[in-house]
Chains A and B, each alone.
Chain A
Amino acid sequence: MNIYRENILEHYKNPLNHEEMEDASADFEDSNPVCGDEIHFWVKISDDGKIERATFKGTGCAISQASASMLTETVEGMSIDEVEEMGSDEIRELVGVPLSPVRLKCALLGLKVLQGALLKYKGEHQ
């Protein structure tokens, strides 16, 4: 049972920042139709364009939910540009277990949704 290392299960069972954010600068939600994973992200952006806080809620497989949970921690303090540059390499590194192409899509959903929220924020503020 290699792929479900303790930290993935820990994030899945007790996700970080797992709540709606009332004073969010932007939010976005999306799903993966192949498996029905759903994720909703909220972000708070500081005046200097950095991510002050990110929260999420969602349902789906352990990989998708754990990866979103890990992401909320990682992106804190990063700039919008930095998060927009993240891709599958960064997510693979973050999750830290080997992912098949199908499971990579699960892992990437959180990032995709977070980037969607940032795009929405930029559309409204720039």
Chain B
Amino acid sequence: MYHFTLYLKGSFYIYMVASMDEAYINEIRKDFPILETKVREGVPLIYLDNAATTQKPRQVIDAISEYYLKYNANVHRGIHALSEIASEKYEDAHSKVAKFLNAKFSEIVFTKNTTEGLNLVAHGLRNLLSRGDEIVVTRMEHHSNLVPFQIVAKETGAVLKFIEMEDFEKLDLNSAEKVITDKTKLVSIPHMSNVLGTINPVKEIAQIAKEHDALMLVDGAQSVPHLKIDFKNLGIDFLSFSGHKMLAPMGIGGLVGREEVLANYEPLLYGGEMIRNVDYDIATWNDLPWKFEAGTPNVSGGIGLGVAVDYLQNIGMDKVHQIEYELTKYTLDRFEELDFVKVYGPDAEHRGGVVSFNVYNDSGQLIHPHDVSTLLDENGIAIRAGHHCAQPLMKSMHIPATNRISFYIYNTKAEVDRTIEVLKQIKDIFN
């Protein structure tokens, strides 16, 4: 009897927590007008493609239109009221991002996106590389953290090396110990795989890089929007991320760089804003971070990014992670029940809110992800299907492509249930 009461109390507690969360997420959803969209007549949108880009809350959209309605002006130039407001707000956005990631103001460079930040680091690396030096990346790279280094290696005679994976689930730390040597000038890894969802041990690998005096770059495209990040504590030199994957507009992102490293690092772009003194034959560079922000920047985007950071901090990154963890765990548990779905990547404890999978018919034949996503789309469900800009990973897994569900703060278990219902119908169509 005593146990029975406890059990009841336990379920009641779980029920309360679950329904509180539901109410909480419904409140969040009200900030995202697009979630009310009907994709087609009578077909509501279920948006599960957040690793590609997230939707934007009203607060971010309002901040962008407020900039254009009330104080549009170029920054750091005009001695006039509008330019002063714009400059202040644009700089303020840098401060917000710095605080969000526990970095200094001077360490926050606004870029166009993650790719630009990665290219900036790759470009500057040319000056530090000699023939025979080594660059280390991983077997689970997005093309953007692979191709720039292929090119730099080719140009400088450096060698590109790879940290291997274990069971297509996680990075092999033994392999990291082996491939990172005194010849290594830079190690670059994704914080979180955009295909497998794996959260990689950045701190451990940064420690190995440090022991060999190598620079450490982290592709944070999939982690900065979803995890609490402490740049200083990670012990890394660079972190690149995109705003549009974390509620901010497209065309704005950031490269965080350790001040001591940025001070001597070569910029990617030269021109206005990034200079201090210019003569006809020579120029000197501006203070950090402006040295890396040549030309008129994306001011409205930067301000939008600052507001997106405010929004996420209001919720709290621990809460963001908890919401996504619960959705991911729920999805993995439900997929486990389905014998026609094959899931890739590790368990919920070791991954972010990304679930890649394939669907098979009753005779075990793969239903091509493009067919799956087309049929999901007919039901208003937006997912990603393809190679996810990770062709080498797909080839090594011997699959042409996968379907990918990815979550954010406004997704619900009911959306997962509906997706699974449609997946069952899709399997039947292909039987």
Contacts and interface: CB of A to CB of B under 8 A. Distances in A.
A2 interface: yes
Nearest to A35: B370
Interface string B377-408: 01000000111000100100000110000000
Nearest to B361: A13
A36 B401 contact: yes
Given A1-B429, A106-B370, A60 B375 contact: no
Contacts of A120: none
Nearest to B385: A35
A9 interface: yes
- How many B residues are at the interface, by size bracket? 10 to 19
Contacts, number: 49
- How many A residues are at the interface, by size bracket? 10 to 19
B403 to A, nearest CB: 12
Contacts of B400: 35-37, 59-60
B101 to A, nearest CB: 34
Nearest to A2: B378
A3 B378 contact: yes
Interface string A51-69: 0000000011111000000
Most B CB within 10 A of own CB, among A9, A61, A102, A106: A61
Interface string A1-40: 1111000010000000000000000000000011111000
Contact of A61 (B370, B391, B425): B370
A122 interface: no
A18 to B, nearest CB: 15
26 contacts: A1-B375, A1-B425, A1-B429, A4-B374, A4-B375, A4-B429, A9-B429, A9-B430, A34-B386, A34-B387, A35-B369, A35-B385, A35-B387, A35-B400, A36-B401, A60-B368, A61-B368, A61-B369, A61-B371, A62-B368, A62-B430, A63-B371, A102-B370, A103-B370, A103-B374, A106-B370
